[in-house]
Structure 1
């Protein structure tokens, strides 16, 4: 039988954070879809309505945490999938740097937009 290989160390921090962010994403994605696709239909979503929702501190915090969790979960998942496919050495370090910078840029831009929509900036 083939041996199972994973770049995640079972019980390690990366392994745990991948599972915690997955659980958080399931809950917040359900909230997001319910609010923006069932309570408010797509044709009812406006810029002013988004600003109004973002002015609620609970909603703002939830959406910013949603962004951070999604960015970490995605970047960490892509990186570990590539490592599982055999990426190693210098290419592994380069991919890690590129993915980390892209993730940080996404989080920085998304957080900035959220704060602008909230009126804090």
Structure 2
């Protein structure tokens, strides 16, 4: 009889969050495609239009949530794929913390970009 195998820990929440973020991403991507490919065609989209959308707090907050969700979903998936391939010990810890650092950098830069589009200035540099 085949054994149950999963890189996710039993009773852990990463498995559940992977599924929740996937469902959220499908919904937000559908919204994105509808808005930016059916309502506005690619040749109509300008920086000014994108900036105007980002100035609306609902759109801005949705894009920030999309950034954080997509980052978690992707990094969690990569980490668990590596665990499935047999990474253990020190290598596993090094990969984990490298992915955490890369995620934080990605989120910080994504928020900085969103703030620039929305006209939000938090720091003088």
TM range (shorter): over 0.9
SS in 2 for 1:28: helix
The offset of 1:115, in angstroms, is 1.2
Report the TM-score when normalising by structure 1. Answer: 0.94
Cα distance in 2 for residues equivalent to 1:38 and 1:46: 15
The offset of 1:10, in angstroms, is 4.4
User: What do residues 40-94 of structure 1 show as CA deviations (whole Å, max 9, x unaligned)?
Assistant: 1111111111100001110000111011000000000000110011000111111
Runs of 4+ in 1 over 6 A off after TM superposition: none
Cα distance in 1 for residues equivalent to 2:118 and 2:19: 30
Structure 2: 5+ residue stretches without partners: none
The corresponding residue for 2:97 is: 97
SS in 1 for 2:120: coil
SS in 1 for 2:8: coil
The offset of 1:9, in angstroms, is 2.6
The corresponding residue for 1:46 is: 46
User: What do residues 12-41 of structure 1 show as CA deviations (whole Å, max 9, x unaligned)?
Assistant: 211111111111101001001111111111
The corresponding residue for 2:16 is: 16
The offset of 1:4, in angstroms, is 3.1
The corresponding residue for 2:3 is: 3
Once the two structures are superposed, the pairs formed by residues 1-121 of structure 1 within 5 Å of their partners are 1-121=1-121
Cα distance in 1 for residues equivalent to 2:31 and 2:13: 27
